[in-house]
Amino acid sequence: MSAAYEAVPGSVVGADYRAALEDVADRARRAVVLVALDPDGCLLGGVTYAAGAGPFANLAHQNEAELRMLAVSQESKRQGVGRGLVRACVQRAAAENRHRLWLETASWMVEAQALYRGVGFKAVRDRNRTVVSSGLRVELRAYALDLSWQLHRPGSPD
C-alpha cells in the first residue's frame, strides 16, 4: 500500500520505508495487521496495531499501544475506510485496557491528521521527531488518544 502514501501531495517516502510498507507478512508476524475488504474481498486499506512496547512501537510503552502504517487505496478514500480502521485500533486498545493509543504521522499527511483529530487524538508536540529514511528527512508528528478513562468504566477490570 505504499502507493497510498506516494499519492499524497508533498509525500516523501524513501525506499526503506516503502519496503517496510510493502512487507505486510513481516508486520503480521510481529504485530497485528487489520485490513478492510470490500464484499468481493478486494483490499480497501490496512493498518498495523502494536500492543505495548515492541518492534513496531516507536512511542508506546508497556501499557499503551500504537497505530502504524495506516493506508487506504485511492479508490476508497473519503468512504470511511480509514476512520473504520482507526476506530478498530481504538476498540482493540480499549478492550486490552491500554492507557493510551499513540501514532506518528508525517507532516505532509494533512488529511490523515484531520482524521486523527476527528477521532479524538491530540497532538503531543514534545514527542515530534525527524527521521532519515533512505537519505530523506521526514518530520513526524506525534498524536495520542487517552484511554485511561476506559479503565474505570462500569464492568471493566480494575
Domains and CATH numbers, the chain: 2-152 (3.40.630.30)
**How far apart are alpha carbons 6 and 12 in whole angstroms?**
7
Q: What is the DSSP letter of 148?
A: G
Q: Are 44 and 37 in contact (CB under 8 A)?
A: yes
| Residues whose CB is less than 8 angstroms from the CB of residue 88 and which lie 6 or more positions away in sequence, other chains included | 34, 47, 49
pLDDT of residue 1: 62
22-70 pLDDT tens trace: 788 888 998 999 999 999 999 999 999 999 888 888 899 999 999 998 9
In this structure, which amino acid lies at residue 109?
A: M
pLDDT digits (tens, 9 = 90+) for 115-139: 999 999 999 999 999 988 778 888 9
Residue 27's pLDDT is 87
| Average pLDDT in the chain | 85
105: β partners = 141
Residue 157 has pLDDT above 50, yes or no: no
Sorting pLDDT into bands at 50, 70 and 90, what band is 14?
A: low
pTM of the model: 0.83
- Which of 70-74, 133-137, 153-157 is predicted least confidently? 153-157
- How many Å apart are CA 44 and CA 62, to the nearest integer? 31
Q: What is the pLDDT of residue 156?
A: 47
Closest CA to 57 of 85, 95, 93: 93
- One DSSP character per residue, 104-119 reads EEETT-HHHHHHHHHH
Structure-block grid coordinates of residue 6: 506516494
Does residue 19 or residue 123 have the better pLDDT? Answer: 123
- Say how far apart CA 96 and CA 93 lie, in whole Å: 5
88, pLDDT greater than 60: yes
